[in-house]
Structure formats: structure tokens, C-alpha cells
Amino acid sequence: MTRLPPEYLGHPVLIRLGSSLGTGFLLSAGTNNFLVTAKHVLVDPQHMKGNLRAETGEVIAYSENPKDKDRYEFSVDFKALQGAGDVRASAQDAIVVRLGTVTAGDDKGYQVFTARPGVVVRSKAESPAMFLPISMCHRLDEVRIGNECWILGYPSSIGIRAIPQVDYERPLVKRGSIAGKNSAQGTLIVDAAVFPGNSGGPVIELDQETFLNTKAFLVGIVSQFVPLGPNVVGNSSVVNSGYSVVVAMDPIIDLVESFVE
């Protein structure tokens, strides 16, 4: 069984829009840095053509150092970014937001992040934030059915808040496997249960080429859980089957690559 490298806990970010919570991750491509999440996290499902759930929100990200107690907090004016063309969504349940650009490294060798108008960095950690490189992404046809995977995110709907069971501002890890593909929809089916709050969270595939050589790839984002059918539980109940729908990285890669300077 492959262990999760501790720095991977810095991959998922918490997205807060008023009382609504979701998950996303930070992605880098060339000089651009993006927030990636499920479209329904930012856009009202009743108006998926572009009506934002909220004009502004917060993004909380952790650094690559799991021992770093500080974190990054961004205030994001999604309406302003949308007006500037920095918010782009796919026909599938995926959306990307350009948060800023990077330039040459500072005196410590870290790249310097310059925020887009509408993005304010309110607090920083000592170590850099975890922007996953686009080179780590696999498209749908590269994903192998049966491979192990991890789902990282903030399932804010689980637990009883009156009983301190879960730290809702720290990500949780769910282990599963790639169960199948729906090529017509551009999605993966994952054998792992997800819950409200997981939406938009990164899914990491482990591809074991040899016994000693296991590589990790970003293969998609959580979109929804698969319920049991009405013939099992009746029309009035919705029960989580334990399987989940994951939007493959294809539309996300295409959206990111559309930001060509």
C-alpha cells in the first residue's frame, strides 16, 4: 500500500463563499497561476451559464511544508475577475480562475507571485503555496482503470459540529480506486465516497510502473456522488452508493491553455 507523501496535504484549498464551502486546488501553467474547482462551487446550479453564487469569497491554502502552521488566505473578487476574463468555465462541471502570474525567483529561489486585480493575499505561510504544475496532469485516455487514487478535500457536511470531531479548515484524505470511465461524458467513476464540500477537490492517481516506481498524476476533480437507484431504496430516498463522478482533466487543461499571453 502506497503512503501519501505529507506535502500532498497542501494540494487542496478551501473555498468559502459566505456560508457555502467547497474544495479546489492551485495549478500553474507557464507564468499563470490558477484556482481550479467544480463549476457548481462558484456558479449557481440553476444558472450554470455564469451567474456566480457570490461576488466575493475566500480561498485558504496551505504550504508545501506540513509542519508550517501558518497558511495562505486570499480574498477573491470573483465578479471583477469574471469581468476581466479571468474566469473561464467548461461545458462540464469545471471552472478555472486566474489568480495571478509568477516571475523569476526571489533571493530564496522562490518564484514571485503577482496577484490579478481583485485578488488580495491577506496572509502568507513561511513556505510557498502548493501550485501543482500542469505537467502533473493526465488526460482521460491516460488514466488506468484499477489504479489506486486519493481524493483530497474539505467534506464540510460530515460530522456533528456540536461535537468536535473534524477540523473543517484542514483537508481530509480518502483512498479509493479508478473504477471506470464514461468517455461520452468525459468523466471517471471512482470507488470512494464523497460528500458535500468535497466538490472540486483534486483526485490523484497512483500509477505503479514497477514495484519500486510509483508515480502520481492529477486526473480530475470531484463533481458528485453516485446515488443508489430508485429500484434499491425507493423514489423518496437518496443514498450514497460509495461511487463518485470525477470530471477528467481534459477540459481543465484546455481552459488553462486558453490563457495564452
pLDDT (0 to 100) of residue 107: 56
State in words which class domain 140-249 has. Answer: mainly beta
pLDDT (0 to 100) of residue 173: 93
pLDDT (0 to 100) of residue 109: 54
Q: How far apart are CA 205 and CA 100, in angstroms?
A: 27
pLDDT (0 to 100) of residue 234: 57
User: Which residues, listed in sequence order, are joined to residue 89 by a DSSP beta bridge?
Assistant: 95
Dig out the grid coordinates for 229 from the structure: 437507484
Phi, psi at 240, each rounded to 5°: -70, 125
**Same fold yes or no, 8-134+251-257 and 140-249:** yes
- Residue spans of the domains in the chain: they are 8-134+251-257, 140-249
Q: How far apart are CA 166 and CA 182, in angstroms?
A: 33
Q: How many CB atoms lie within 10 A of CB 118?
A: 20
Task: Tell me if 182 sits within 8 A of 242, measured CB to CB.
Answer: no
Closest CA to 7 of 92, 131, 137, 119: 131
Topology given in CATH for the domain delimited by 8-134+251-257? Thrombin, subunit H (2.40.10)
Could you give the angle at the alpha carbon of 70 between the alpha carbons of 67 and 73, nearest 5°?
Answer: 135
Residue type, 119: V
Residue type, 241: S
Q: How far apart are CA 248 and CA 139, in angstroms?
A: 7
Dig out the grid coordinates for 54 from the structure: 457570490
> In 3-state terms, what secondary structure has residue 2?
coil
Kind and range of the H or E run holding 32: strand 32-37
Task: Provide the pairing of β-strand 148-153 with 202-210.
Answer: antiparallel
Kind and range of the H or E run holding 36: strand 32-37
Q: pLDDT digit of tens for each residue in the chain (261 aa)?
A: 567 777 778 889 999 998 889 999 999 998 899 999 999 999 987 765 668 999 999 999 988 777 788 899 999 999 999 999 999 999 999 999 999 998 766 555 556 788 999 999 999 888 878 888 999 999 999 999 999 999 999 999 988 878 888 888 899 999 999 999 999 999 999 999 999 999 999 999 988 764 456 788 999 999 999 988 766 655 566 788 899 999 999 999 999 999 975
